Amino acid sequence: MAILLLIPFFIVRFWLLGWLDKTGIERAAHFAPMYGGERIAFWAYQISTMALVFWMFRLKMIIELDSLFGVGAVLYATGLAMLAKSVIDFAAPAVNGFRKSGIYCFTRNPMYVSYFVFFLGCVLLTRSFSLFLILLCFQVSGHWVILAEERWCLEQFGEPYSQYLCETGRYL
């Protein structure tokens, strides 16, 4: 039953993005060049991403009207809403090549933040400690992927991106 929680996620992340921008899915799937330990982090990120999805097949959503369920539901819905806003803004890139308005004025990585919030909601809705551990691996490895992406963006966009780094937080 927990796998059903992923249906809205996939609709927003893939269908909505593809519908809004034909190149959006390809652009979102682009990973910056990785060096040294970043390559290990990249593979840890890929494996933990697959593990998050496949582990949901093993889990059941636990519906008990208590605070844990309430917080989980709020995080789940917030993560999904953040992802939708991220996708909508990402689908219309700025002329300089990177987006820094909309949700991107609050965080440089709104999709990554929304993934974490969404899956943290799933952790609470399923009450799965193992899913939480997978999410931690996902988040830590994702941080290294983000560092590589930021380096690539600095090379691609130069001073405007450097200024954006100073103005906007990596996560919040």
Tens digits of residue pLDDT in 28-81: 888 999 999 999 999 999 999 999 999 999 999 999 999 999 999 999 999 999
Q: What is the largest CA-CA distance in the chain?
A: 51
**Cα–Cα distance measured from residue 42 to residue 50, given in angstroms and rounded to the nearest whole number:** 13
Sketch the domain layout of the chain as residue ranges: 57-172
Q: Which fold has domain 57-172?
A: Four Helix Bundle (Hemerythrin (Met), subunit A) (1.20.120)
pTM: predicted TM-score of the whole model, two decimal places = 0.94
